Amino acid sequence: MMAAIAAAKNGANVFILEKNERVGKKILSTGNGKCNLTNLDFSLDKYHSTDNRLLGDYFDRFNEKSTIAFFGECGLMLKNKSGYIYPSCEQASVVLDVLRHMLDVLGIKEYTEAGVKEVKKIDDRFVIKTVDREYRADRLIIACGSPAGVSNKDKNMPGISGYDIAKSFGHKIIDVLPSLVQVECEENFFNSIAGIRADCCITLFDENKAIARENGELQLTNYGISGIPVFQLSGLISRELNSGKKLYAVLDFMEELDEEAFAEFIKGRIHSFRGETVENYFLGMVNKKLCSLIIKLGGLKPSDIVSDELAEPVFMASLMMKQFVVTIKSTKGIDSAQVCTGGVSLCEVDRKLMSLKEDGLYFCGEILDVDGKCGGYNLQWAWTSGYLAGTYASLE
Ligand SMILES: Cc1cc2nc3c(=O)[nH]c(=O)nc-3n(C[C@H](O)[C@H](O)[C@H](O)COP(=O)(O)OP(=O)(O)OC[C@H]3O[C@@H](n4cnc5c(N)ncnc54)[C@H](O)[C@@H]3O)c2cc1C
């Protein structure tokens, strides 16, 4: 829609082919139905892509301020929640309505239930076959998104994937994997701590090397870990597991104390709880269910008495509050994910988002190998790339 609007504003005659019964359905589920459409805290490290230098070049030309200005011009009032930008009415459906209104104002035709089945270039024009019709166009923008979060019903609508269209023009597709998704762990104790939500610092390790770190509210579930910090790490986890790496994560529930201060604190606490039960020693430090598990994993019993003899095992068990190790098994699948990492490589498009394989063919949005963190960054990429692809496609 953004690409269509940008192209039509430049005077192009534009139409949209959409395989669903209506355009823009994914927008409706964004931001828990409120649509977090961009974020004022922009930096390139919020993104993963094939080429972050080229990515920066796109954002230099259309960024979060441009998004705010664009929606302002469309008449959408916005709300700033600590940098996270939402429509003031907090209704994702209104964002879609406003975009559709713009399509209407600009005379852009929407063909729905028009899943593309084949695209060919014949005599310098694109011939696009849908289920029941054939369309011709001088320029073609592929904005087919990713399979993340698509319902089974929509998945079964006729039409091939955007990746297959790209492949038919000689593009290579970087492995499409789930991102912004929950993570399953190997350990069999998760049932006992499911439901806990706790502020936590998560460090991801590949062998003995820390490769990423995130803070925020962790959610422990019966299969593993979830919550924003886990989502933020999940794209990297998908890619690393896909390349055969073995990963584990260290959960720090005591991030406000550095290691030295924590060790001092623990020693002092062991001293002051001498003669009391291990259960009472742990009580009040972290979530109760986690205390019980740590006592068990530490080879202790709740009724054990803190004593000189037990000082060492109690100390070692206590360290788990700062270094709780979990082994990563997999991420949840693409159906559970908000976005996908992978897609059409940025190495195969130019500054105008035109294919380096086929003149007049453009890409925008999630079909490209660009994925952002949670917080409005993926829609920002959709707006940025849509605006640029639409603008350049109409200028060429
Ligand atoms: C639950 C959920 C919550 C999210 N929340 C946020 C959020 O708050 N903020 C944020 O920034 N991002 C969020 N995202 C991510 C964001 O929605 C996507 O990154 C964004 O929608 C991608 O835009 P797109 O135009 O590239 O693809 P899409 O929005 O997926 O649109 C692609 C369109 O192409 C159509 N299509 C596919 N194949 C064909 C074909 N062969 N023929 C015709 N049409 C076809 C599809 O039906 C679809 O309508 C969320 C995603 C999910 C699933």
Q: Which of 375, 326, 76 is nearest to 205 (CA)?
A: 326
Residues 184 and 332 sit within 8 Å (Cβ to Cβ): yes
Instruction: Kindly report the protein residue whose alpha carbon is nearest to atom 34 of ligand 1.
Output: 144
Packed helices 311-319 and 259-272: angle between N→C axes, nearest 10 degrees: 140
Pair (99, 196) in one structural domain: no
Atom of ligand 1 nearest to the CA of 157: 47
For residue 111, the one-letter residue type is: Y
Instruction: Kindly report the protein residue whose alpha carbon is nearest to atom 8 of ligand 1.
Output: 31
How far apart CA 46 and CA 105 sit, in angstroms, is 34
pLDDT value at 207 more than 90: no
Residues 322 and 252 sit within 8 Å (Cβ to Cβ): yes
DSSP 227: S
Pair (218, 198) in one structural domain: yes
Instruction: Kindly report the protein residue whose alpha carbon is nearest to atom 35 of ligand 1.
Output: 144
How far apart CA 141 and CA 16 sit, in angstroms, is 9
Pair (135, 187) in one structural domain: no
The best mutation among 17, 338, 344 to test binding of ligand 1, ranked by most ligand atoms within 8 Å of the C-beta, falls on 338
Q: What is the pLDDT of residues 27-44, one digit of tens each?
A: 999 999 999 999 999 999
Q: Give the strands of the sheet with 134-137, arranged side by side.
A: 116-122, 125-130, 134-137
DSSP notation for 299-331: T--TTPBP-TTTHHHHHHHHHTTT-EEEEEEEE
pLDDT of 52 reads 94
68 Cα to the center of ligand 1, angstroms: 20
Q: How many other CB atoms sit within 10 Å of the CB of residue 251?
A: 22
Q: What is the pLDDT of residues 58-99, one digit of tens each?
A: 999 999 999 999 999 999 999 999 999 999 999 999 999 999
Arithmetic mean of pLDDT, 261-268: 97
Q: Produce one character per residue of 342-372: b if its CB has 16 or more CB atoms within 10 Å, e if not.
A: bbbbbebbeeebbbeebebbbbbbbbbbbbb
Pair (214, 321) in one structural domain: yes
How far apart CA 304 and CA 365 sit, in angstroms, is 58
Please identify, among 299, 316, 332, the residue that sits at the C-terminal boundary of a domain.
332
The best mutation among 30, 154, 332 to test binding of ligand 1, ranked by most ligand atoms within 8 Å of the C-beta, falls on 30
pLDDT value at 295 more than 70: yes
Pair (307, 343) in one structural domain: no
Half-sphere exposure of 235 (CA within 13 A, CB side): 24
Pair (290, 373) in one structural domain: no
How far apart CA 160 and CA 278 sit, in angstroms, is 60
Pair (145, 281) in one structural domain: no
Atom of ligand 1 nearest to the CA of 115: 42
How far apart CA 115 and CA 148 sit, in angstroms, is 18
Pair (162, 257) in one structural domain: no
Pair (26, 48) in one structural domain: yes
Q: What residues does ligand 1 touch, defined as CB less than 6 Å away?
A: 17-20, 25-26, 29-31, 35-36, 115-116, 143-145, 148-149, 159-160, 162, 338-339, 365-367, 376-379, 382
109-111/84-87 β-pairing: unpaired
Q: What is the pLDDT of residues 219-253, one digit of tens each?
A: 999 999 999 999 999 999 999 999 999 999 999 99
Pair (136, 278) in one structural domain: no
Residues comprising the chain, all counted: 396
Q: What is the pLDDT of residues 139-158, one digit of tens each?
A: 999 999 999 999 999 999 99
147 Cα to the center of ligand 1, angstroms: 8
The share of the chain scoring above pLDDT 70, in percent, equals 100
* Residues contacting residue 392 through CB under 8 Å, at least 6 positions apart: 352, 353, 354, 362
The share of the chain scoring above pLDDT 90, in percent, equals 99
Does pTM top 0.75 for this prediction?
Answer: yes
DSSP 349: B
342 Cα to the center of ligand 1, angstroms: 14
212 Cα to the center of ligand 1, angstroms: 27
Longest dimension (CA), the chain: 88
Pair (65, 104) in one structural domain: yes
* Residues contacting residue 156 through CB under 8 Å, at least 6 positions apart: none
247-252/47-49 β-pairing: unpaired
Arithmetic mean of pLDDT, 199-221: 96
Pair (149, 103) in one structural domain: yes
Please identify, among 332, 361, 382, the residue that sits at the C-terminal boundary of a domain.
332
146 Cα to the center of ligand 1, angstroms: 7
pLDDT value at 200 more than 80: yes
Chain-wide mean pLDDT for the chain? 97
The alpha carbon of 38 is separated from its chain's Cα centroid by a whole number of angstroms, namely 13
**First and final C-alpha spacing in the chain:** 19
CATH code for the domain of 370? 3.50.50.60
For residue 194, the surrounding DSSP H or E stretch is: none
Residues 300 and 278 sit within 8 Å (Cβ to Cβ): yes
pLDDT of 208 reads 86
Please identify, among 293, 308, 332, the residue that sits at the C-terminal boundary of a domain.
332
Atom of ligand 1 nearest to the CA of 159: 41
DSSP notation for 61-90: HS-HHHHHHHHHHHT--EEEETTEEEETT-
Look up the domain containing 110 and give its range: 2-179+338-395
Q: Which of 301, 255, 258, 263 is nearest to 281 (CA)?
A: 301
How many structural domains are present in the chain? 2
Instruction: Kindly report the protein residue whose alpha carbon is nearest to atom 51 of ligand 1.
Output: 338
Confidence of residue 396 (pLDDT cuts 50, 70, 90): low
The two counts, helices (H) then strands (E), for the chain are: 14, 20
pLDDT of 278 reads 98
pLDDT value at 340 more than 70: yes
How far apart CA 24 and CA 194 sit, in angstroms, is 35
